[in-house]
Structure 1
Amino acid sequence: MNHPVRLLLFCGFLLTLLPAASAQRRDFAGQYHSDQKILVDSRREGDSLRIYLRFPNGSVLQQKQPLRVLAWPAYDAKRPVWADTVSHLARRTRLEGSAARVEFCLPIARLQSGTILSMACGPASVAASGEAAWLPLTAARLARPYILADSLGVPLLRRTVRAGEAFYVDRYGPEQPVSVKQYTTPFVAALPPHADPSRQAAGPATLAVRDSLFARAGVPLALPEPGLYTLRLMGEPSLLGLLVTGAEYPDLTTADELIQPLIYLTTSTERKNLYDAPNPKRAVDEFWLKAAAGQQTLARQAIRLYYSRAATANQLFAAHKAGWMTDRGMLYMVLGAPDAVYRTAQEERWVYHARDNGSSATYMFRPKPSTFAPEHYELVRRPENERLWYAAVEQWRKAMTAPGR
């Protein structure tokens, strides 16, 4: 095991390098660009917490800039409670194509549940910004002695696996058998942002177990059927939620997968006609061609944009259901990435600046964590969201949504 990085607690020099954190509101919009997002996970290893980071642009780790770690009392805090740098960075870096992965350890005695770590390679202002990797520390995270890894032992850094994809539970210390349970999944796509909250089904308080099995410790496991699962190691109190997806996830490829996200743009009758068509995939193409008034180039652009947003939503917002079905995924698909994102412990706000029609809006999400989705958020639905929503839907139904939006 690597030695824990030496903490420079209350280091006045490092803390004074963070004027940007106190000068302006921290914007987390960069977290919703999958090609920029730094992936992060962790594992308890005795008296240390091992941190795993994956930088989509590995070159940032080769520019002789320090990898900085900051601990914050809250997302909107002005100053960190401590700051540190990771020593011997080159030794801890593994290249993965154009990306790069880093591992390092922090002493568990210096980490407190309820605080949040931010991590980035570069100036201190970058590590304090919304562009950094942010990792909320919960009691469960500080105690969990394992991560999910692929069949070669490379950390997955995600809570989804594809049906048939080999992975295993990589535990620190003696290997333990893994109990796997599959649950019924009566989940549906999100309602529009102006819908009456009473129409929003709260979902069952508990989920029925559909199937269960035991996996051998240290042996790769492949789950053949998509669905919602939990993993529990023998002797461990906590569960780890896992979403098993279709083989092409995050992409949508089958006729059903292509029709389902159109729930945000179509009526139930229109979708039924698509499902009932002799060739549903061709019917989807014809739907978009009709929206584009017969202009094939415009139709292709709309198809490419809409389903690429669905794939990105699947990457960013997967929870107890596919990312495109979540509240944040719904807004992302129809309105695009937010222009600004502000977080506190109680909420996350998405800000959309004025569109071509002059409309702007702010949407508020509240955290609703669960075993299956510890970082899940639900939208606060309001009637005043209706005008902008239908204006955006109408643009899609004319195949006129610009790629930048």
Structure 2
Amino acid sequence: MAGTLLGLGGISAAQEKEKSDADAQASPDGQTDPLKRPVSQKQKKQNAKALKAELTDHDKKWLNQDVLWIITDEERKAFMLLSNEEERENFIESFWQRRDPTPDTAENEFKEEHYRRIAYANEHFPAGIPGWKTDRGRIYIVFGPPDEIESHPSGGTYERPMEDGGGSTSTFPFEQWRYRYIEDIGQEVIIEFVDSCMCG
């Protein structure tokens, strides 16, 4: 009769042990100890939302403006999990230190160049929004100034291939930026910006 022993009220010994283990994990108010039970996806989202709500205006600006185009997804996730201002300040400091090409000097050339690029983008590429938010601003901030710029502010004429019906058509205003080399991308990189709304 092993395994079929009954305890009080018809509960098997195995069920009694499970209940005893659950009672051991329960907190004094009868709820399961939150430190010992798995966190649901809903609770994870609520926790992340609460942490995000705790971000100061400075933290939000740093994350969503200053480094928006250069922070990695992993870094963004790690920053969002930080629980207090001291941790966030330490994170920001180490973020810039990791990118400093000359860590033995007082200046951080990467950080200085990054903020210079943002200022340049805001001055030269606004389009009803700050320049850092535009496509050209983003590319400039991430990759720096192009080696060559070919600008067609009034569009241009385009000869369509015969398989597309031939003839000529006009294009929207556009600008091409040429980079001789971009690390991790390659050589002779051409990025084209098209003004499809004709708004500048």
Scaled by the length of structure 2, what TM-score is found?
0.49
Larger Cα-atom Rg? 2
Scaled by the length of structure 1, what TM-score is found?
0.26
Greater relative contact order (Cα < 8 A, sep 6+): 1
